[in-house]
Amino acid sequence: NLPDHSNSAFSPKLHMSSFCQSDLMLFPMSDSCEQLSLLLKHPDQPENSKVLKVAIIGAPNAGKSTLSNQLLGRKVFAVSKKVHTTRSRALGVLTEEYTQIILLDTPGLTTPSKVKRHQLEKSLLVDPWNTVKEADLMVVMVDVADKWMSSRLDFEVLKCLAQHPDIPAVLVLNKVDLVKAKDRLLDITAQLTCGVVNGRKMRIRPVIKPPWAEKRSERASEDEENAAPEDGSEPTSALSKEQLKTLRNQQGWPHFKDVFMLSSVDREDVDTLKSYFMVAAKPGSWQYHSEVLTDQSPEEVCTNIIREKLLEYLPQEVPYSMTQSVELWQDGEDGELDISVKLYTKKETHMVSILTHYWAFITCICVSEVLYLASTPNETAVNVLYVHVVV
């Protein structure tokens, strides 16, 4: 009893029983009305409640969404190995005893020229900057396994920090498990903090830059000078030309309150950061009921998970040119939830690529990363019955 899409330009029906089932079942599936009702529900806060809004920022693919998921204890935000998995600002809520931590997960900071070149959404330019304005604390994430990204802070990150000097910021060095020479982490810390943490000079031996670091710095400065806004999509910088010039010559930010070295996939590592948030929270009213996990609707969670899988398993630029929409979302038999999703492709060659990679794609999804959480309330089986591919 699925809707008829036979009049679509091209819509081969691919039967995908239990598509993405293990990921979707990590999030309690309901409908948008139930989610909205929960979001509007008055917070059930205790008398001595505390709250903290945390904006997680960084360059693309630094591990921001992975960290957010680990802090929340559930898969809420889409994650993949490719850049720009997160396309817009998303909110997660962590409530424990008297404290509510509101996590603001943001797209990786990028430039207008890159957004235009790769035909990405304008939200990648606007959302991170607007989100920071809401925050009580900024978390700056850096992928230390990437030698290019760990040699200096991304210029867009530096601009964001410089525009909001009154918002406390902490530095998180992520993926430390992939760094073989652990003493190198101290050198990276010295570079990214300008040798100063919480107003105190760090006692670390001088860093001797390898030749590739010098070349990278020169190339980065040239790229940054050529990355001026082209269409006014990016919020106007509040920084003067002199300030921007100074930032271009900086490798790091000397005003971080603390530095954390962790792997965002390691629960024990992340628990240390979570404890820091709990202590940093200030007395204040909760903004959400304790049952709220995210402000995303179930349909949004579903489409984000599908986009994650497209990015993970489809080649090269194919997933970036695709969009998806939920065509059917209804309760089925025996308490199951039936979903029908339509994928849109810009090119017929991309459609062929999807069909070519179909079986490997589905196999990977059906055995994907997570098991059903027995502790999830209102357990719901999820069947995505059909995906329609449309050019």
CB count within 10 Å of CB 22 equals 18
CB count within 10 Å of CB 191 equals 19
- E-strand stretches of the chain: 13-15, 50-58, 90-96, 99-105, 137-143, 169-174, 196-197, 200-201, 258-261, 282-283, 322-331, 337-345, 382-390
Helix then strand count (H, E) for the chain reads 13, 13
| Per-residue confidence (pLDDT) for residue 390, from 0 to 100 | 54
| Per-residue confidence (pLDDT) for residue 227, from 0 to 100 | 47
> Long-range contact list for 379-382, CB < 8 A, 24+ apart?
379/25, 380/25, 380/28, 380/29, 380/30, 380/335, 380/336, 380/337, 381/21, 381/25, 381/334, 381/335, 381/336, 381/337, 382/18, 382/20, 382/21, 382/24, 382/25, 382/29, 382/336, 382/337, 382/339
| CATH code of the domain made up of 30-206+239-281 | 3.40.50.300
Given a contact cutoff of 8 angstroms between Cβ atoms, the answer to whether 161 and 253 are in contact is: yes
Higher per-residue confidence, 86 vs 4: 86
34-38, 77-81, 274-278 — which is least confidently predicted?
34-38
Question: Measuring CA to CA, which residue among 21, 28, 34, 96 is closest to residue 375?
Answer: 28
Most confident of 36-50, 321-335, 361-375: 36-50
Checking if the pLDDT of 32 tops 70, the result is: no
Residue burial 43-75, b: 16+ Cβ < 10 Å; e: rest: eebeeebbbbbbbbbbbbbbbbbbbbbbbbebb
| Per-residue confidence (pLDDT) for residue 11, from 0 to 100 | 36
Class (C level, CATH) for 296-387: alpha beta
| Per-residue confidence (pLDDT) for residue 193, from 0 to 100 | 95
Question: Judging by DSSP bridges, how do beta strands 382-390 and 99-105 pair with one another?
Answer: unpaired
37-51, 99-113, 169-183, 207-221 — which is least confidently predicted?
207-221
Q: Work out the pLDDT band at 238, boundaries 50, 70, 90.
A: confident
Q: What is the tens place of the pLDDT at every residue in 253-299? A: 999 999 999 999 999 999 999 999 999 999 999 999 999 999 888 88
| Per-residue confidence (pLDDT) for residue 82, from 0 to 100 | 82
Q: Work out the pLDDT band at 2, boundaries 50, 70, 90.
A: very low
- Name the CA radius of gyration of the chain, rounded: 22
Tokens 């030749």, residue located: 211
Helices 211-225 and 241-248 sit at what angle, rounded to 10 degrees?
160
| Per-residue confidence (pLDDT) for residue 342, from 0 to 100 | 79
Domain ranges (residues) in the chain: 30-206+239-281, 296-387
Which residues 6+ apart lie within 8 Å of 39 measured at CB? 288, 289, 292, 295
Phi first, then psi: give them for residue 187, nearest 5 degrees: -65, -45
Phi first, then psi: give them for residue 304, nearest 5 degrees: -65, -40
Q: Work out the pLDDT band at 309, boundaries 50, 70, 90.
A: confident
Q: How far is CA 224 from the centre of its chain?
A: 23
First and final C-alpha spacing in the chain:
24
Checking if the pLDDT of 10 tops 90, the result is: no
CB count within 10 Å of CB 142 equals 25
Give the whole-number percent of the chain exceeding pLDDT 70. 72
Checking if the pLDDT of 143 tops 80, the result is: yes
Question: Judging by DSSP bridges, how do beta strands 169-174 and 90-96 pair with one another?
Answer: unpaired
63-72, 213-222, 262-271, 334-343 — which is least confidently predicted?
213-222
Q: What does the mean pLDDT of the chain come to?
A: 76
Q: 311: exposed, middle or buried (C-beta count within 10 Å: 0-12, 13-18, 19+)?
A: buried
| Per-residue confidence (pLDDT) for residue 39, from 0 to 100 | 82
